[in-house]
Amino acid sequence: FTPFAKKITPLICSNRVGRFQIMWNSIPLAVYFSVLSAMLIVSTRATGVAPKTGQKFTNVQGTYWNGATFAGSCLLQSYQQPHNLEYVAVAKDLNGKAQYCGACIRVTPLDGNRPPVVAVVSSYCANCPPGALDMPQTMYDRLMGDAPKRPGVDRFSWEVVACPFQREKPKIINKDGASKFHLSMLIADSSFPIDSVSIQSGGNGFQLKRPTTIVGKFQQPVLANRVNVKVTCTNSRSFIVNNVDPSSQTPIDAPAGCS
């Protein structure tokens, strides 16, 4: 997330907190803003916005093209992949601006009786049709089996779900090289997708946005040495982390999440 040059009304930090996992930095989330076809049938489809749990995509293309990587366009390099979750790339029409980074989706094959698989969105698929998914081999094998001559393209349905994290609280992780001059943060382990991130610095409030480059640079003003970070999830709940050092490399636990 990168701050707009424009000021907004300073945040009022209350004791009400929520929960999160996405990325914010100058691209995208992350995600981390936490992831994760010519559709024949699509339900509740909304492009260009952060997803809400329950949002469904029915009968879309899913592939194993090796385009899904855990670091991916969501820049999750500094984040440890949860042991119980796969990762997945979501088509550019939905995740081209990191809208789905860090969100969890449950993918179900249309053919066969294999159980659904939950994955974190870690990237976008540049060449996928609208709404489509590209998966790593481990995930595709779980959904389709690994028999010889198995097709590498098939049809799936998927739904945005709350992440089943076993970790207790969301974390803010400053990315390498971040400072009060160049803000780059990862918000990890949010069970719900992130809608917005804002900061309070020296009495001023700034709304952050998902970016399109790797590092967000402050033109004016430079941030204070300590800032307060407010994360709002797409379930309308939020949490606040106070006294964050923009340059610290130590992950900071949120007091609670968006549950």
Report if residue 153 sits inside a domain.
yes
Q: Given 137, 161, 185, which residue is the final one in a domain?
A: 161
Q: If you average pLDDT over residues 207-230, what whole number do you get?
A: 64
Report if residue 242 sits inside a domain.
yes
Let me know whether 176 and 152 are in one domain: no
Report if residue 38 sits inside a domain.
yes
Q: If you average pLDDT over residues 190-199, what whole number do you get?
A: 89
Average pLDDT, the chain: 76
Q: Is the pLDDT of residue 62 over 50?
A: yes
> CA 120 to CA 160: how far, in whole Å?
10
Report if residue 258 sits inside a domain.
no
> CA 185 to CA 178: how far, in whole Å?
7
Q: Which residue has the higher pLDDT, 220 or 116?
A: 116
Backbone angles phi, psi at 242, to 5 degrees: -95, 155
pTM: 0.77
**Beta bridge partners of residue 194, listed in sequence order:** 233
Q: Is the pLDDT of residue 31 over 50?
A: no
Report if residue 259 sits inside a domain.
no
Q: Given 161, 184, 201, which residue is the final one in a domain?
A: 161
pLDDT in tens, 131-175: 999 999 999 999 999 988 888 899 999 999 999 987 668 988 887
What CATH number corresponds to the domain at position 130? 2.40.40.10
Backbone angles phi, psi at 182, to 5 degrees: -130, 100
Q: Is the pLDDT of residue 25 over 70?
A: no
- Confidence class for position 186, pLDDT limits 50, 70, 90: confident
Instruction: Look up the domain containing 152 and give its range.
Output: 24-161
pLDDT in tens, 68-103: 777 778 877 667 777 778 999 999 999 988 889 889
Report if residue 104 sits inside a domain.
yes
Q: Given 97, 129, 161, which residue is the final one in a domain?
A: 161
How many separate domains does the chain show?
2
> CA 259 to CA 253: how far, in whole Å?
15
